[in-house]
Amino acid sequence: MLKPPSAAQVTPPPRRRPRVGRVLRRLVAVVIGVCALLGAVRLVVPATAGTADEPPGVRRQLTFLRAALDGGAGDQAQSLFPEGYFFLHALYGLSWVELGMRAPDGERSAALREARWALARLESPPGRAPFSADLTPPHGVFYRGWTNWLRGGTLALQPSARRDPAELRRFADDSAALAGALANYGELAGLPIDTPWTKRYAFGLLPIGDAFLAWSKTARPWMASTPSPPPATISWWWRTPLLALLLVIGVIPWLPVLVRRYGARRVRPEVTDESSGVATE
């Protein structure tokens, strides 16, 4: 008569391989968790080096942009929207101005050279092409304001004793032209015109955004000490909702795993006594 095998002779059933779906779900959960963690770190850690030091990586980005501009990126941007060529060179030059203003006085030559190069591009025929010379002031407040802002930046990068008098006169003349345009074409009788795209003053003659952005930046005292900037950090209460949202996003993919493990701990599986065949807890 055959005896039932003892518990020592019973071989456990082979372990099932994890299903592909489970592996994919955990992989997606890991990716979402890592992204949420990186977002929280970027939210808490300052993104720049403050207002005095040079932000990391900016010079490499500007080097890349200069190579792209030399390769025709301005013309490509022009084909996408009317001010593409102008904006790309203006922002490139102003970025160098900002970078140069953070450097000591004797280390601004590279920033000055690149800012002047961008200014020359703005004053070239391709830079002026979208702007009519019949506007008031010539080529419009948009063109004159942004160009004068960059010209003021090039002056600010130079020691006061080495600034070109002709360049200073040009800066003052353009500032006066912008002031005259705002004085002569201001908001008439308090009745601006709202269009589907922007709000315009002087019965539609002068866009509000172009006018006051350009004037506020031109009126900035480039040749004098600037006021202290606001703190570069964000208040903790502004970060709290985003941090909570990132925490929820990172935890949600893991909820099914946590629920299964918690349930497995509370409910003990039945254990079968091999000798008696009676299920016990």
Contact status, residue 182 vs residue 145, Cβ threshold 8 Å? no
Radius of gyration of the chain (CA): 33
Give all strands (DSSP E) within 37-134, no chain letters.
none
For residue range 239-250, list pLDDT tens digits in order.
777 778 888 888
For residue range 62-114, list pLDDT tens digits in order.
999 999 999 999 999 998 988 899 999 999 999 999 999 888 888 999 999 99
The CA distances from residue 152 to 69, 101, 238, in Å, are 22, 12, 35
What pLDDT score does 113 carry? 96
The residue whose two tokens read 């990586």 is 57
Contact status, residue 145 vs residue 217, Cβ threshold 8 Å? yes
For residue range 216-234, list pLDDT tens digits in order.
555 555 545 555 655 555 5
Instruction: Give the residue from 229, 198, 230 showing the smallest Cα distance to 213.
Output: 198
Say which residue, 212 or 64, is predicted with more confidence: 64
* Amino acid letter for position 128: R
* Structure token digits, residue 143: 């063109």
CA distance 217 to 152: 9
pLDDT band at 201 (very low <50, low <70, confident <90, very high): low
What pLDDT score does 190 carry? 44
What pLDDT score does 177 carry? 80
* Amino acid letter for position 151: R
**Average confidence score pLDDT of the chain:** 75
CA dihedral (67, 69, 71, 76) positive or negative: positive
Helical axes 140-156 vs 208-218, angle rounded to 10°: 20
What is the DSSP secondary structure assignment for residue 226, as one 8-state letter? Answer: P
**Helix, strand or coil, per DSSP, at residue 217:** helix
Contact status, residue 9 vs residue 212, Cβ threshold 8 Å? no
Mean per-residue pLDDT, 121-138:
89
Q: Pick the most confident of 45-49, 156-160, 186-190.
A: 156-160
Instruction: Give the residue from 247, 232, 230, 238 showing the smallest Cα distance to 41.
Output: 247
Q: Where are the domains of the chain?
A: 74-218
CA distance 278 to 281: 10
Enumerate residues 6+ apart whose C-beta is below 8 A from 243: 40, 43, 44
Enumerate residues 6+ apart whose C-beta is below 8 A from 59: 99
What is the DSSP secondary structure assignment for residue 281, as one 8-state letter? Answer: -
Is residue 273 pLDDT above 80, yes or no? no
What pLDDT score does 7 carry? 53
